[in-house]
Amino acid sequence: MDKRIVFVGDNKSFMVNSIVKELTERGFDVIQTDTTVDSIEKIEDRPPVFLLYIDDMDDMRDVLVYLNDKTVEGEISLSVIGSKDDMDTLEEIIPGRRYAASFIRPINVKELATKMEQVLKDEDVRQQKKRILVVDDDGTMLRTIKSWLDEDYHVFMVNSGMAAITFLATNQVDLILWIMKCRLQLDHRYLRCCVPRRRLPKYQ
């Protein structure tokens, strides 16, 4: 099982460093990054499990929106640490509490590490599911389709043809579910490279 985890938080924080120490002692490979989108984007071969330490909600809105998008698209599993007020405010940015685990400060770092071990196990199961990319420019339809398929499949979502091309450049899937009104022609040979295990029909 991959025990790598991306920990997003202020590396000068005593609490952040205490959590990193405990996770490392429990066998996690912790990749630390600060609370900016640029820093996260620069991580190569990024693992899908993220743990976010919320310190100043106002300064973190950009990264929260980014992480929410990645969670909705199915790219990451997100767990969060924050105060009760932080969690209430977070509902505005990440509605429906779409995170794998949440921890209210003050926290017990040993209990957090135990819970994150379960998060890793759950994500390992999710990663072994067949992978479906859903392409639609209607956000409501994307979320509806994801809710239908999410229990049995690893579902990724993008809202445009160009976003699909970008995603497929670095990710392989077993099936592409393309809603026809999302208008962008893809070359058949390109799709064959992206989905090598499926026989794709020829364009009519």
Neighbours of 58 (CB within 10 A): 6
94-106: b or e for each residue (b if 16 or more CB lie within 10 Å)? beeeebbbbbeee
Mean pLDDT of 15-41: 95
pTM of the model: 0.72
How is residue 57 written in tokens? 């909600």
- Residue of higher predicted confidence among 187 and 134: 134
Task: Say which CATH topology domain 4-127 has.
Answer: Rossmann fold (3.40.50)
Neighbours of 196 (CB within 10 A): 10
Mean pLDDT of 129-150: 85
In this predicted structure, the answer to whether residue 202 has a pLDDT above a threshold of 70 is: no
Dump pLDDT digits (tens) for 97-108: 778 999 999 999
In this predicted structure, the answer to whether residue 198 has a pLDDT above a threshold of 50 is: no
- The answer to whether domain 131-194 has CATH 1.10.150.120 is no
In this predicted structure, the answer to whether residue 174 has a pLDDT above a threshold of 80 is: yes
Dump pLDDT digits (tens) for 61-88: 999 999 998 988 788 999 999 999 999 8
Per-residue confidence at 173, pLDDT binned at 50, 70, 90? confident
How is residue 38 written in tokens? 């640029």
Spatial CB neighbours of 164, under 8 Å, sequence gap ≥ 6: 133, 135, 158, 176, 178, 184, 186
Alpha carbon 139 to chain centroid, angstroms: 17
Every domain of the chain with CATH number 3.40.50.2300 lies at 4-127, 131-194
Tally: H helices and E strands in the chain: 8, 8
Per-residue confidence at 181, pLDDT binned at 50, 70, 90? low
Predicted pLDDT of residue 83: 93
